[in-house]
Amino acid sequence: MARRGKRKGRRINGWLILDKPAGMGSTSAVSKIKWLFNAEKAGHAGTLDPLASGMLPIALGDATKTVPFVMDGAKVYRFKVAWGEERATDDLEGPVTESSDERPTEEAVRALLPNYTGIIMQTPPQFSAVKIDGERAYDLAREGETVEIAAREIEVGRLDLVSFTPDNAVFEIECGKGTYVRSIARDLGRDLGCYGHIAELRRTEVYPFLPDQLVELPALEEAATEGDREAGDFATLDEYLLDIATALEGLPEVAVTDDAAARIRLGNPVIVRGRDAPVEAPEAWASARGRLVALGAVEAGMFKPKRVFAM
């Protein structure tokens, strides 16, 4: 007797902009959303630490093909730094490794901020996903090893002081891919001579998504009860999904006919038409009737597909 194959879930496509609660890991959040939507495939665009809350864009189905474009986008965080202690994890989770009775002045903090904007070098935390000889730094740190992690170049668009007390300060940062906010807190404390660590962290934006697109988990859980899962009724839940192309804001769009779309889906290049169509673009997307057809590049007036999307 042949075995029945394991159900893979629905072929549902789109972006869900989750307001991840503090205390939940990013992987657990993706698993929860995948289960709620009964999705065949899911992934996220940028890990949030378990102690952090806020925007976690989750891609379902074919939206996972557009994850790299979101990963490369700017991010905005609001975070509180507690002065007086440095911790092994650079946040509340780890044990205290250094302490000081010194406390900074507001003037000293403000004077330091220009050093943390623009293109700067940053050393990731010991507890991070950086690979050292093929192993994750956090795995080595949990085994008690202290490893040398090379500083890397990051870009900080702005770092603003939102509020200040002698014991802590709240900042808002807009930064690029690869920035560790925990390292910012650690380095500020060291430069100020008082030590510091993250006490609160919330991600408020991940370009191109907006704060008003955030959805809280309880709302999704409630929506999941309104349909008959066994009968495949997910209509209420699916209303929370954004179109896949939402992630491609900022990339050139090439509008094509239905016939051209059919050729593209077979992997064939097509001539780019239209007065405003790009002649050259290393990254672009083709659409037919407003729907995403493929990701690709425009070379010498031809759109050449690299990844195609189902109808």
Distance CA 96, CA 92 (A): 9
Cβ-based neighbours of 134, under 8 Å, separated by 6 or more: none
Distance CA 209, CA 191 (A): 34
Q: Would residue 49 show up in a list of annotated catalytic residues for this protein?
A: yes
Choose the catalytic residue: 19, 49, 90, 187: 49
The catalytic site residues sit at 49
